[in-house]
Amino acid sequence: MAEAEIARLEAVEKSANERIANLTLIMKVLQRTQNGKRSERLRLEVNDEQVSFAFEEVETGLSAIRSELDRAAKDKPKRAPRPRKGFAAHLERIEEVIEPEIPAGCEGLAKVLIGEDRSERLDVVPPKFRVIVTRRPKYAFRGSDGVVQALAPAHIIEGGLPTERLLAYIAVSKYADGLPLYRQEAIYLRDGVEISRSLMAQWMGHLRFELQMLADYILERVKEGERIFADETTLPTLAPGSGKTTKAWLWAYARDDRPYGGTSPPMVAYRFENSRGADCVTRHLSGFTGILQVDGYSAYTNLAKTRAKTGSNETVQLAGCWAHLRRKFYDLHISGVSQAATDTVLAMTELWRIEDEVRGKDADSRAARRQEKSSTTVASLFELWEKELGKVSGKSKTAEAIRYALTRREALERFLTDGRIEIDSNIVERAIRPQTITRKNSLFAGSEGGGRTWATVATLLQTALCRARHKAVYADRRTMPSTCSNIPFETRFSRRFRWRFVVGTRHSSHAQRAFRNSRSRSLGRNRSALARSYGFSFASADSFSSRCA
């Protein structure tokens, strides 16, 4: 009896110690998330970038001291000009010529220009509101019956207040810059323009309807890729009538072939769903065949297994994400609870170093280099994990991380033999990050319709940013959107994204109305033309193409 009681108490103590260790680890991870550095980069040595960052505040203080001394000094010493990076060529240049005063005795003499000093300073023109007045004169001809008048331009919101430029400005401010509508309402009110957030929300709903076909098309183009990425994040949504939020999900699907030398343009598509179920992935990726690079979420695994069991021609190969795996061991390494986790993190550093070498090379070269250098490291890691799993408690976080790796071994090792696969899924995580910022500022989506609007508009904005190689496409708000025109939609879309567009069967509501109106006018010009204009663009054709070349 005594031995049995001792064994029971030892088991209780062991379980309690494991529980304490897990809770301690959770507490340390939470503290690091809230107060510490979130970067998982190992600080093994001090590099130039770290030195520059460390002395940034020192340089700021020294600059303030120099300015104060220069102001106090009577004779200011001339300092050598600091090398300055030139401004972008596409920025507008406003030349200001400052003529000197004519000295005494030189009045009436001819001036000869022998040189000049030239300097450039960066300026900003704050956005301002204006009213576009459209006049369409009516004309009658003497000796002829009838009246002639130009067709009214098509607009996304016919008879409404906003131009397409204003709609684009509001959409970019909210879904790309993370500025909620209630903040925009306060900003516009400073200029004496009163636009309620509810009205702007209605405008965004109209915009989503007109842009939905573009968003659907982008998703289809994403699914044409040989290797695509998928991820999802929560999007709290206000439940109608309850005043409470429910958990909805924003799914992201990204394509970027540039890491292995591909020429297809990068793009990302979002989808809003009320659940995180496997049926969402099945519906979104209908028709996709190829490599799907994801984290360890079971919905993607179920998709691949289901298609394999049914013998579908749309086969899906899963590729794992080493960044997700590394994160599990990194938390253990920082907490200092597992030497195996520390050894794992240090060994993984070599894998990313090799990835830096092969980035941008063709798929065959990448695979050959990985077989030569990375395969040995990967094999040693799995050997370490298999040995360590038998030494640690099955309930510990270390065992949990090891099981995560071992159960996904095939997907994690796939990047060694296929150069199209990345070592991680950071491409789609970078597409998710802007939406988390917008979510943090907006707190929640106002409705399911608001969530779908979010996904649709974000699809176009982030795809445009990807296509522009993440340059500041939206810096100049004046050239960002173009007004509605009668250029066919497929032509406008192919100009903006340099893609071939297959015309669908559904036209926008304002396009249908424009078509009916054109048929009813007896003397209107171009009465048979379908005024299909979606009115939302990111830059003029010349400006956008030059920045995306």
DSSP string, 292-318: EE--S-HHHHHHHHHHHHHT-SS-EEE
pLDDT of residue 94: 94
Q: What is the pLDDT of residue 75?
A: 59
Q: Is the pTM of this model over 0.85?
A: no
**Tokens at residue 181, please?**
């509508």
> 445: which strand partners?
237
CA torsion sign, 354 to 467 to 474 to 547?
positive
Highest mean pLDDT among 8-22, 36-50, 60-74, 360-374: 360-374
What's the pLDDT at 415? 96
Residue whose tokens read 């030239």: 118
Band the pLDDT of 253: cuts 50, 70, 90.
Answer: very high
Q: Cβ contacts of residue 252 below 8 Å, gap of 6+?
A: 229, 230, 231, 232, 233, 268, 269, 270, 428, 431, 432, 435
Using CB atoms within 10 Å of the CB of residue 154, give its burial: 0 to 12 exposed, 13 to 18 middle, 19+ buried.
buried
Whether residue 516 is predicted with pLDDT greater than 90 in this model: the reply is no
pLDDT of residue 259: 93
pLDDT in tens, 223-245: 999 999 999 999 999 888 777 88
Give residue-wise pLDDT tens across range 202-215: 999 999 998 999 99
HSE at residue 308, side-chain half, CA atoms within 13 A, is 10
**pLDDT value, residue 82:** 66
Tens of pLDDT along 334-358? 888 789 999 999 999 999 999 999 9
Residue 231 φ/ψ, nearest 5 degrees: -160, 170
In the sheet that holds 227-238, the strands lie side by side as 267-273, 245-255, 227-238, 290-293, 316-319
- What is the Cα–Cα distance from 89 to 61, expressed in whole angstroms? 32
Q: How confident is the model at residue 365 (pLDDT cuts 50, 70, 90)?
A: very high
* Residue 457: predicted pLDDT: 93
Query: What span, in angstroms and rounded, lies between the C-alpha atoms of 386 and 384?
Result: 6
For 337, the 3-state DSSP assignment is: coil
The better pLDDT of the pair 449, 37 is held by: 449
**pLDDT tens digits, 431-465:** 999 999 989 888 888 888 889 999 999 999 999 88
HSE, side-chain direction, 13 A CA sphere, residue 444 = 14
User: Please, are residues 237 and 448 in contact by the beta-carbon 8 Å criterion?
Assistant: yes
**What is d(CA 380, CA 357) in angstroms, rounded to the nearest whole number?**
21
pLDDT of residue 529 exceeding 70: no
What confidence score (pLDDT) does residue 512 get? 41
Do the Cβ atoms of 299 and 285 come closer than 8 Å?
no
Q: Measure the N-to-C terminal CA separation of the chain; round to a whole number of Å.
A: 81
Domain residue spans in the chain? 216-442
